[in-house]
């Protein structure tokens, strides 16, 4: 069966009942987190085919922003738990994920540093601290291609924040640093997948209970059948 278009809808009567419901408002907040994560994930995928300075900028920043949104997402889920914990999908998803030791470790270390130091806040001390152990073959402040300003990439700034994130030890080899960075990428991507999976299962259960239904659209506007 090929792909099909769909909407998940409710009637106006159902919406009027829900629009002041704390559980529904919490669900919308969670949906906003997932939208932001999916945006960053799509940007990372698209960046794989982009060459030159713009591609390098997109690859690293899509990861940095996704990781920071993920950090915020977990804080949001903790705040919303009081409204969502009655759902089985919450207890089997987020409740388990929040207690997971690997999740807690990643949240408290690299995700926290990214969110608070150089994505949602721009701490001028990051570069200063990063330069304590900082070696590059060439120190390029910026790179560009042609006359388009959008093709200019200030790579040294991002090299500094990655170095700050990794906090290399004295005399640590380039290979070791690269391997640790790959591990962070892999662990963060895996955790992001677990987060979105938990969110989507929770939203599926909750919206079904609230009177939403899936409507196959076939690119045409249809009315939901279920109230």
Residue-averaged pLDDT of the chain: 89
Give the residue from 188, 182, 127 showing the smallest Cα distance to 159: 127
In 20-106, where do the E strands start and end? none
pTM attached to this predicted model: 0.85
Q: How far apart are CA 15 and CA 133, in angstroms?
A: 56
pLDDT digits (tens, 9 = 90+) for 86-132: 999 999 999 999 999 999 999 999 899 888 888 888 888 888 888 88
Q: How far is CA 7 from CA 4, 11, 24, 188, 204, in A?
A: 10, 12, 18, 30, 13
Dump pLDDT digits (tens) for 150-173: 778 999 999 999 888 888 887 888
Extents of the domains making up the chain: 6-216
Structure tokens at 78: 């903790």
The pLDDT value recorded for residue 219 is 58
């Amino acid at each position: 069966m090929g792909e099909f278009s769909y909407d998940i809808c409710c009637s106006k009567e159902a919406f009027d009942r829900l629009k002041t419901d704390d559980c529904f408002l919490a669900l919308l907040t969670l949906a906003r987190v997932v939208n932001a994560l999916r945006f960053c994930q799509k940007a990372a995928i698209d960046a794989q085919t982009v060459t030159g300075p713009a591609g390098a900028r997109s690859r690293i920043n899509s990861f940095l922003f996704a990781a920071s949104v993920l950090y915020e997402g977990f804080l949001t889920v903790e705040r919303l738990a009081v409204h969502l914990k009655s759902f089985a999908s919450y207890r089997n998803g987020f409740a388990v994920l929040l207690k997971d030791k690997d999740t807690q470790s990643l949240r408290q270390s690299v995700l926290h540093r990214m969110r608070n130091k150089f994505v949602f806040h721009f701490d001028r001390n990051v570069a200063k601290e990063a330069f304590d152990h900082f070696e590059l073959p060439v120190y390029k402040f910026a790179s560009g291609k042609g006359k388009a300003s959008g093709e200019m990439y200030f790579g040294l700034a991002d090299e500094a924040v990655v170095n700050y994130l990794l906090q290399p030890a004295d005399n640590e080899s380039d290979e070791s640093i690269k391997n640790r960075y790959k591990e962070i990428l892999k662990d963060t991507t895996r955790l992001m997948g677990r987060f979105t999976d938990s969110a989507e299962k929770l939203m599926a259960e909750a919206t079904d209970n609230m009177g939403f239904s899936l409507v196959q659209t076939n690119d045409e506007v249809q009315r939901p059948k279920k109230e």
